[in-house]
Amino acid sequence: MTISLKVNGSQRTVPAEADTPLLYVLRNDLALNGAKFGCGLAQCGACTVLLDGKATRSCITEIGTIGEAEITTIEGLGTVDKPHPLQQAFIDTQAAQCGYCINGMIMTAKELLDQNPHPAAAEVREALAQNLCRCGTHGRIIRAVLRAAENTGKT
């Protein structure tokens, strides 16, 4: 069967069953690399995307349940040439080692900054409590989110 999804502002039709987790459709049908497979259990956060602005684990979100909701992936935020302030702040802070978790960090931080444009460090930590990082880049990730908040305020 085919299912129609609204991804990064475009209507896309994919040849997948309704119970297919969104993650595989994004990666394999739509060639969007940002969301990563980490656990398939909604435990680690590497697969995070926004559904109508809400940070959502795409590894357990069946495409049949999405309907008209707007899906935003990290590719929908910005590009290497024109990065989103969050992406720019992660580059400026060099807030990655292996970087596998960073998609989830940025997408979860996006939801946070949309709701709370000037969070305290402790609020950033709490917002990212369910996103696992293994390289120990946490400190830089927190600083990058705070930096993005600062820069967004300026523009």
Partner 1 sequence: MSEAGVNLTRRQFGKTAGALVLAFTLAPRLAGAQAPKLPGSLANNRMLDAWLRINADGSAIIFTGKVELGQGISTALAQIAAEELDLPLAQVKMVSGDTAQTPDEGHTSGSQSIEYGGTAVRLACAEARSLLVGQAAKRLGVPADALKVSKAVITAPDGRKLGYGELAAELDLDREVTATAPPKSPAQHTIVGHSVPRRDIPAKVTGGAAYVQDLRLPRMLHGRVVRPPRYGARLDSVDEAPVRALPGVVAVVRDGSFLGVVAQREEQAIKARDSLTRSAKWSGGSEVPDPARLHEQLIALPIQSSVVSEKQAAVAPAVKTLEATYTRPYIAHASIGPSCAVAAFEDGRLTVWTHTQGVFPLRRDLAKALKLNTEAVRCVHAEGSGCYGHNGADDVALDAALLARAVGGRPVRLQWMRDDEFAWEPYGAAMLARAKASLDASGKIVDWAYEVWSNTHSTRPAAPDGNNNLLASWYVAEPSQPGPPMNIPQPAGGGDRNAVPLYSFPNQRVVNNLITAMPLRVSALRTLGGYTNVFAVESFMDELAAAAKQDPVAFRLAHLGDPRARAVIDTVAKKAGWRAGEKGDGTRGRGIGFAKYKTLATYVAVVAEVEIDRKSGRIRVPRAFAAADAGQIVNPDGLKNQIEGGMIQSTSWTLHEAVRFDRNGITSRDWSGYPILTMPEVPEVEVTLIDRPDEKSLGAGEASQGPMAAAIANAFANATGRRLRDLPLSPERVQAAFG
Contacts of 2 (CB under 8 A, 6+ apart): 13, 14, 15, 16
Asked if residues 36 and 81 have their Cβ atoms less than 8 Å apart, the reply is: no
C-alpha separations of 99 from 20, 30, 50 in Å: 26, 21, 19
Give yes or no for residue 134 binding partner 1 (CB under 8 A). Answer: yes
- Residue 72 burial (10 A CB sphere; 0-12, 13-18, 19+): buried
Asked if residues 113 and 55 have their Cβ atoms less than 8 Å apart, the reply is: no
- Give least dist CB 132 to partner 1, A: 6
- Give least dist CB 12 to partner 1, A: 16
Give yes or no for residue 137 binding partner 1 (CB under 8 A). Answer: yes
Give yes or no for residue 9 binding partner 1 (CB under 8 A). Answer: no
One of 24, 55, 57, 147 touching partner 1 (CB under 8 A):
24
Give yes or no for residue 125 binding partner 1 (CB under 8 A). Answer: yes
Residue type for position 92: D
Rounded CA gap, 119 and 98, in Å? 26
Give yes or no for residue 152 binding partner 1 (CB under 8 A). Answer: no
Give yes or no for residue 43 binding partner 1 (CB under 8 A). Answer: yes
Under rule CB under 8 A, how many of the chain's residues touch partner 1? 60
Give yes or no for residue 31 binding partner 1 (CB under 8 A). Answer: yes
- What is the binding site for partner 1 (CB under 8 A)? 16-17, 20-21, 24, 27-28, 31-34, 36-41, 43-44, 46, 73-75, 77-80, 83, 87, 90-91, 94, 96-103, 106, 122, 124-126, 128-142
